[in-house]
Amino acid sequence: MNMPPCPAFSQSPLDRMDELRPSIGVHLLSGPDSRNRFLLFAEAGVVRRLGGERFLFTDTDLEAIPHDRGLAVFLGGAGQELYFALPVGELGPGIETLDLRLLVNQNLVPDEELGMLAQANSVLGWHRTHGFCGRCGARTAQAHGGWRRECPACGAQHFPRVDPVVIMLVTHGEQCLLGCGRDFASRRMYACLAGFMEPGETIEDAARRELSEEAGLAVRSVAYLFSQPWPYPSSLMIGLRVEAENMDVRMDEKELVGLMWVSRTEVRAVLEGAEDRGFLLPSRVAIARDLLLAWAYAPES
Ligand SMILES: [Zn+2]
């Protein structure tokens, strides 16, 4: 059996070790420990030493960097090491911050480690924007290793959110449907259609609704393929294969500036670097590329 593709951010070396979460704050505040490893995040992205290869900091490294250990999130363990995400503010010379997409597209981090960077970026982002209780408005406090916020006024507990997005590889025979979104920087960039799920929908419902809204498309079948954590800020991209009833489409001009059927041969050519076909496909950071690769080179489907 073929292994499913592994989109960017979908692999992690960590065991999340939920059993350590209740006590990990005490461990962290009790002083330096040679097992501790920290991923540091500023608003602009993950932090590393200028020109350095690794993104991990030890307690010794942290001595020169202002931080609050009470804001650390426990990511999990690997071997004897314990991994934490830590927000930092002002950075001195010799330190740089990098956007996660850049790390992927420039191969700066092994694929096997990208998942923990996505995990860290999403949960730290959630803490940054959820400082107050959604029920009573009081300031909340971080708890359970950073995997919960608690309200001291009303007792409510709040948990990190994940926002599911359906992304559809739509096919009809040897053709697949690609769209160019209004928010794409390049008017030549085409990708699989996608949209946020809404409360009360199944995954299949969401796929049918999105394709009806954006493309006026009639759907014959929907099947799950594979998924990707997408840390902007905390989506889950649910990759689907959709068979269309026919090739009749009607573009939603509020969302899209282009919508077209493309042959498998054309998709292969562009994936292999052809620049003369009039359109581009997403880079390897996006699950859309994995979906297109899986279809373009499938022995038959
Ligand atoms: Zn409250």
Residue 231 CA to ligand 1 center (angstroms) comes to: 27
Distance (Å) from CA 150 to ligand 1 centroid: 8
Report pLDDT for 2: 58
pLDDT of 94: 84
Segments making up each domain of the chain, as ranges: 18-131, 163-296
- Name the CATH topology of 163-296: Nucleoside Triphosphate Pyrophosphohydrolase (3.90.79)
Phi, psi of 53 (to 5 degrees): -100, -35
CA 175 – CA 246 distance, rounded (Å): 11
- How many Å lie between the centroid of ligand 1 and the Cα of residue 28? 27
pTM of the model: 0.94
**What pLDDT score does 236 carry?**
98
**Distance between CA 19 and CA 26 in Å, rounded?**
14
Q: What is the CA radius of gyration of the chain?
A: 22
Taking the centre of ligand 1 as the mean of its atom positions, its distance from the CA of residue 148, in whole angstroms, is: 13
Same CATH topology for 18-131 and 163-296: the answer is yes
The reported pLDDT for the residue numbered 128 is: 94
- What's the pLDDT at 1? 41
Hey, what amino acid is at 9?
A: F
Looking at 1.10.1760, 3.90.79, 1.25.40, 3.40.50, the CATH number of the domain 18-131 comes to 3.90.79
Q: What share of the chain is helix, strand, coil (3-state, %, to 5)?
A: 25, 30, 40
Nearest alpha carbon to residue 214 among 193, 230, 200 = 193
Residue 162 Cα to ligand 1 middle (Å)? 21
Nearest of 33, 36, 148, 42 to residue 92 by alpha carbon? 42
Ligand 1 midpoint to CA 137 (Å): 6
**pLDDT value at residue 300:** 63
Q: What is the predicted pLDDT for the residue at 49?
A: 84
- Compute the distance from residue 133 Cα to the ligand 1 centre, in Å: 5
Task: State residue 93's pLDDT score.
Answer: 82
Residue 16 CA to ligand 1 center (angstroms) comes to 28
**Averaged pLDDT, groups of 10, the chain, 301 residues long:** 80 97 94 96 88 85 90 97 94 87 91 96 96 98 97 98 98 97 87 98 98 98 97 96 97 95 97 92 96 89 54
